[in-house]
Amino acid sequence: MSLEKLAPIKSSSKPTTWRGQAVQLAGVVALVFLAKGALAEPFYVPSGSMEPTLMIGDALLASKFPYGYGTSSLPIQINLPETGRVLGETPKLGDVVVFRWTGDRSQAWVKRVVGLPGDRIQMRQGQLFINDRAAGLKPDGLGEAEDDNGGSQPAHRYVETLPNGVSHLIFKMRDNGPLDNTPEVTVPPGMLFVLGDNRDNSADSRVPVRAGGVGLLPIDNLVGRADAVLGSWDLAMRHQPLWTWPSGFRLARFFTAIR
């Protein structure tokens, strides 16, 4: 069987010089960089802090235009002074956001926004209170909370409804965990309060940066809004024979919206 080769397109113009080729390559790189920086960027989920909404091994797509653009929006991290955001918009309650962690801006994290500037946030016996109003909690059976080693443990699943009507699933593994009761915090201007949906396994705004958590999240740290899961693979399959790995693809999660 013969192999066909693509023939170069003949042109009556002068041959392209190496400088011309370099310019063309630079143009392509700039176009890709612009699209990745201005429109959307893919990210990989390495932990279970956002279960059951996001699973370990999910590949998500973050849209950058909903919140405007700042240095955190760049596809590569450069040590530039923070000068605010262009076309900046404040997230809505319930948005799942990707952001640069204050403790190490090379790291991108993902959490859910539950407190906007001026809001008063508190956890009481594992229930979220926003401005002294309890978020709705409706039991939704049991689920499996996966850990970073591929193991899992039972978790109570709830539908949480925020004051603006946005509903989403959360996991609770304990009735009275160490982060289930917190002092009331008023979110300052330019900041957000974020939580992981896996409430007993998330270093979020309940945990200060010096202790490895998010603390209050500066809006300027936002990369974008997590809108869709592009694909997903069960990392536990790494411990199985190579030929079984394709069975680890979670096809039902491919190209699904994040809520």
Average confidence score pLDDT of the chain? 84
Look at the block and give the residue holding tokens 């693979």.
233
Contact 216, 192 (CB under 8 A): yes
> How does pLDDT run across 98-137, given as a tens digit for each residue?
999 999 988 999 999 999 999 999 999 999 999 999 999 9
- CATH fold of the domain at 40-257: Umud Fragment, subunit A (2.10.109)
3-class state of residue 66 by DSSP: helix
Inform me whether the pLDDT recorded for 222 exceeds 80.
Answer: yes
Give the pLDDT score at 255: 93
% of the chain at pLDDT higher than 90: 61
Give the pLDDT score at 9: 30
* Terminal alpha carbon distance of the chain: 51
- Confidence band for 175, pLDDT divided at 50, 70 and 90: confident
Give the pLDDT score at 18: 61
Q: How far apart are CA 79 and CA 109, in angstroms?
A: 18
Give the pLDDT score at 146: 86
Inform me whether the pLDDT recorded for 221 exceeds 80.
Answer: yes
- The C-alpha torsion from 247 through 248 and 253 to 254, rounded to 10°, is -70
Inform me whether the pLDDT recorded for 15 exceeds 50.
Answer: no
Give the pLDDT score at 77: 59
Of the candidates 64, 72, 73, 111, the residue annotated as catalytic is 111
- The C-alpha torsion from 29 through 34 and 40 to 44, rounded to 10°, is 40
Inform me whether the pLDDT recorded for 83 exceeds 90.
Answer: no
Strands (E), the chain: 40-44, 58-63, 96-101, 104-115, 120-124, 127-130, 133-134, 136-146, 152-161, 167-172, 185-186, 191-195, 217-218, 222-232, 256-257
Q: How far apart are CA 136 and CA 127, in angstroms?
A: 9
Give the pLDDT score at 21: 54
Q: pLDDT higher for 5 or 84?
A: 84
Give the pLDDT score at 109: 96
Q: How far apart are CA 89 and CA 85, in angstroms?
A: 9
- Which of 2-11, 77-86, 107-116: highest mean pLDDT? 107-116
Of the candidates 47, 49, 73, 205, the residue annotated as catalytic is 49
Inform me whether the pLDDT recorded for 13 exceeds 60.
Answer: no
Give the pLDDT score at 106: 87
> How does pLDDT run across 27-72, given as a tens digit for each residue?
444 444 444 455 788 999 999 999 999 999 999 999 998 998 888 7
Q: How far apart are CA 61 and CA 255, in angstroms?
A: 10
Write out the two tokens for 3: 């192999």
Give the pLDDT score at 24: 52
pTM of the model: 0.82
Write out the two tokens for 113: 């926004």
Active site residue 5: no
Inform me whether the pLDDT recorded for 201 exceeds 70.
Answer: yes
Tally the C-alpha atoms within 13 A of residue 52's C-alpha that lie toward its C-beta.
Answer: 21
- Confidence band for 82, pLDDT divided at 50, 70 and 90: low
- Confidence band for 19, pLDDT divided at 50, 70 and 90: low
Give the pLDDT score at 166: 96
Active site residue 111: yes
